[in-house]
Amino acid sequence: MQHHEQGRRSLRPPAGNLLQAKVVREFFQDVPKQAKRAERIKKLLFGIWYPTALKGFGPVVPSHRLTQHRPVGQSHAMSVKRIPKLEAEVAVVLIGTAFSAILLVLVAMDAGPLWRDETAALNLAHMTSLGDIWHNLHFDSFPLLWPLLLRGSGILGLPYSDMGIRILGVGIGLFFLTSLWLCQRWIGGRAPILSIALLGDLPAFIFIVGANRAYGLASCLLVLSFGTIWRVLEFPTKSRILTTSFICVLFVQCVYYDVTFLGAMLAAAALVAIRRRQWKTLWKMAGIGLVAGASLFIYLPVVRRVPEHVPFWRSPFFDAATLWNGLGDALATRSSAGHDGANGPQIWIWIGLLLAGIIVAVLMQRVRVHPSLKPDVALKGSNSERSDLALFCVTSVMLGIIGYFWFLVKLKYFVQPWYYIEILILCAVSLDGILTASWPALRPWGLVRIAFLVMMMMLNAGPAWAEAHTRRSNLDVVAAFLSHNASASDLIVVQEAWEGITFNRYYLGQAQWLSVPPINSHEVYRIDLVMAEMNQPEAMTPVLHAITNALASGNHVWVVGSIPIARWEDAPPGPTPLPPPPSEMPTGWWMGSYVSWWNQQVTTFLLDHAEQGNAETIATLGPVNRFENVSVVRFTGYKPGTQ
């Protein structure tokens, strides 16, 4: 008996050879025509024990699903009978993906004009030379990749028109949906059901993923980076390492803070490599991070100028509620045209699901089978690899959340819904790794996931449909109206310099127009010009003189913007006093205070000097994005004796 047991143990492969067995199985399972060659190589590598090590070699099965191989003695009919059940979840996710794709196509059809952020990005990309792009790069929020992509698409024949940009946006959106499926396959799952449920018809996602900004491309590359990093952990071949490095470099070239998310994913991968004692893989992860980080060194001149502009954007009212309210807006069940209304239950659904994923991931670490103790069980059962995947996912999302929110706290900007898109995507793909790829059975978990997808689609379908039909701006319609109705001797006053970026693209009339403050460039966000006006106490004098000349000559003054034409409640009669310099302003260099003050100067001057003011009715097709929904007020007549 003792001799027999020793003989049985001798057939077991050493623990170090298990990975070789697994690799060969995965490599040859898709090449049945080379079966004989595979047999020879397997015998050469593993000797007489390879049938034991490669038990279950057959249909395409993800490497971490070895426990699902058909046991010896199970009938083939039972295996075939399971196929329709396994495909049910995939079919439901395909339907959800198709619905998301339809929404993205509708956005391209109905979004209409480019709004100021999109227009500034296009203007930057199409500057005269690459040198001009570089010298103006610090006025935008992104590295070079997106401007160069826009410039390259124009060279390749994609028109610079609104529809040409929308077509590019559709391509980015569909690429993102494809990336979700690829990533889920790479981490061993069947379909990205939680990602589609959480993101597929989220209004904020529909708004930004196809917009002419770098966020959509960054979202695609984040998902691909997540999947390829895990593939390197599974099998660090040269081709996988090079592919992952390339994708990670592109990823950090999209948005400056993407280095935070990449660092979180690489740190998570390093933790898994340390637990597996795969020291070479650990160094490869470090190398990928160093290469990606080194690619950002070219932006040191841009980064050095950031402190000059941060006070301009920094909110004097920033607190913890700012972050919470911003997250609520990002997950709200309303389109970008909606101003008010409750955020809905989505934020609590996300938080609850994230907590559930963290708890499950932690529990999975406790049931992990240590390969040094039971290597054969660890190979046959996928507990070890599932727990590693869960560790990778939960560490990525936790480090990503901590790092990104720390970044927002340090920045202290007013947050917008699209600021949260990438962290939400990281949460979604991580939850898919923990709760989908690691729990593939249809009953009960697959049915629960299907029910969750249906529920989320029902909650978000209405707002997402509205978002898909929301115009990004109405300044194109306003510009066309003024081009037709404003005479060459009239004056147009645009209430914000940033709205002037969009107005400058679409206005084709002859009337003079000025922005508040009156700067001489409206191609990109010329923060330097606006900050220079803040230091000028009489910055609005040119605008007020132009208004006086137009009204005194019997011409019209057209005011374009979203700031109400009304006196401040506590304002005394007469003209608005000059604003104090930034050193004496309670809010410092913050732009909002000066824009409000300057427009109050214009408002009080018009109310005191114009005889009549009428709001114009300008019809638009469909709802308009609240970030750039302007109105027009026409002032006529002049009161010469008014002080």
- 494-548 pLDDT, tens digit per residue, is 999 999 999 999 999 999 999 999 999 999 999 999 999 999 989 999 999 999 9
**What DSSP string runs through 221-288?**
HHHHHHHHHHHHHH---HHHHHHHHHHHHHHHTT-TTHHHHHHHHHHHHHHHHHHHT-HHHHHHHHHH
pLDDT at 71: 40
The pLDDT of residue 406 is above 80: yes
**Looking at per-residue confidence, does 255 or 16 come out higher?**
255
Q: What is the pTM of this model?
A: 0.84
Q: Is the peptide bond before 444 cis (omega within 30 degrees of 0)?
A: yes
pLDDT at 373: 43
Query: pLDDT averaged over the chain?
Result: 84
Distance CA 326, CA 343 (A): 11
pLDDT band with cut points at 50, 70 and 90 for residue 469: very high
Contact between 115 and 628 under an 8 Å Cβ cutoff? The reply is yes
Helix (H) or strand (E) holding 320: helix 320-330
pLDDT band with cut points at 50, 70 and 90 for residue 344: confident
pLDDT at 351: 95
pLDDT at 639: 86
- Percentage of the chain surpassing pLDDT 70? 82
pLDDT band with cut points at 50, 70 and 90 for residue 382: low
Task: Using alpha carbons, select from 172, 198, 170, 197 the residue that is nearest to residue 103.
Answer: 170
Contact between 493 and 516 under an 8 Å Cβ cutoff? The reply is yes
pLDDT at 226: 97
Tokens of 407: 């970044």
What is the rounded average pLDDT of the residues 625-631? 94
What is the rounded average pLDDT of the residues 296-322? 91
pLDDT band with cut points at 50, 70 and 90 for residue 641: low
- 67-109 pLDDT, tens digit per residue, is 344 443 333 333 333 344 558 889 999 999 999 999 999 999 9
Task: Using alpha carbons, select from 156, 261, 149, 159 the residue that is nearest to residue 214.
Answer: 149
Distance CA 143, CA 625 (A): 26
The pLDDT of residue 300 is above 80: yes
- Residues contacting residue 81 through CB under 8 Å, at least 6 positions apart: none
Task: Using alpha carbons, select from 313, 489, 308, 339 the residue that is nearest to residue 412.
Answer: 313
Task: Using alpha carbons, select from 459, 452, 402 the residue that is nearest to residue 432.
Answer: 452
Task: Using alpha carbons, select from 526, 521, 496 the residue that is nearest to residue 602.
Answer: 496
pLDDT band with cut points at 50, 70 and 90 for residue 379: very low
Contact between 606 and 624 under an 8 Å Cβ cutoff? The reply is no
pLDDT at 436: 84
Tokens of 501: 């970026």
Contact between 60 and 25 under an 8 Å Cβ cutoff? The reply is no
What is the rounded average pLDDT of the residues 140-165? 89
What is the rounded average pLDDT of the residues 389-417? 95
pLDDT band with cut points at 50, 70 and 90 for residue 55: very low
Distance CA 28, CA 40 (A): 12
